[in-house]
Amino acid sequence: MFATESLIAEHGFDGLRLRDVAKKAGVSIGMIQHYFETRDELVYGTLSDASWRRAAEFVALADGLQDPTARVAALLRGSIANRARCQEWVETCASSTRHADMMMPMIERTYDAWRTALRDAINNGIETGAFEPKLPLEQVVDTLMVMIDGLMVAVALQLYEFDEPYVVRLIEETAGPLLSYDFQPTHGSPANPRG
């Protein structure tokens, strides 16, 4: 399935061909068809698997961290740190506009996991007094979720040479004022690559 997932990120849902998957995976087309009757079934299985994995990976970013500020920082930074994962997410979202019945449950599952982990970490920070949000909790979470999505697109497309230090700075400098907290950048303070 990893071969299929990387090819989906590279060619898109509709551009995926079984022969490319077979070649990349080092198996025959017949072997793939033994497990998946159609190309769409393979794509659906791959993206469904990926959505569960993405959700689990996001939640795991904060595993073992007790300090709510460290948990929020880990969730924010980790969400945009991997270009391949960002590309897969962008393709999953793009595919949902053409295949909503198949894709939307996966997207909703991933969003629910992200929102819950982020909301719980922020709420814990509010309860301990580490955060004093300027907006209602749900609005803060929504703002950060939308920003994560936008930054995932920028990272996936490598717009304006968006690199990890810069996108981390952007998300921390947005989250900080929303939560009345000064996130300390872990990668220094890189200059804006656009200017």
What CATH number has the domain bearing residue 144?
1.10.357
Structural tokens at position 97: 């506009």
Mean pLDDT rounded to a whole number for the chain: 85
Average pLDDT over residues 31-41: 87
Characterize 10-31 residue by residue with b for buried, 16 or more Cβ atoms within 10 angstroms of its Cβ, and e for exposed: eeebeebebeebbeeeeeeeee
Domain membership of residue 92 (yes or no) is yes
Structural tokens at position 161: 């040479």
Domain membership of residue 170 (yes or no) is yes
Q: With 50 as the cut, is the pLDDT of residue 141 above it? A: yes
Q: With 50 as the cut, is the pLDDT of residue 80 above it? A: yes
Q: Within 13 Å of residue 77, how many CA atoms lie on the same side as its CB?
A: 17
Domain that holds residue 55: 48-179
In this structure, are residues 147 and 91 in contact, taking their beta carbons and an 8 Å threshold? no
% of the chain residues with pLDDT over 90: 35
% of the chain residues with pLDDT over 70: 93
Domain membership of residue 98 (yes or no) is yes
pLDDT: which is higher, 131 or 5: 131
pLDDT of residue 194: 39
pLDDT of residue 138: 97
Average pLDDT over residues 133-149: 95
* pLDDT tens digits, 45-70: 887 787 788 788 888 999 999 999 99
Query: How far apart are the C-alpha atoms of 22 and 53, rounded to whole Å?
Result: 22
Domain membership of residue 13 (yes or no) is no
Q: Within 13 Å of residue 61, how many CA atoms lie on the same side as its CB?
A: 26
Query: How far apart are the C-alpha atoms of 153 and 158, rounded to whole Å?
Result: 8
> Positive or negative CA dihedral for 102, 108, 109, 110?
positive
Look at the chain and report how many structural domains it folds into: 1
SS3 for 20?
A: helix
Domain membership of residue 129 (yes or no) is yes
Domain membership of residue 185 (yes or no) is no
Domain membership of residue 21 (yes or no) is no
Domain membership of residue 109 (yes or no) is yes
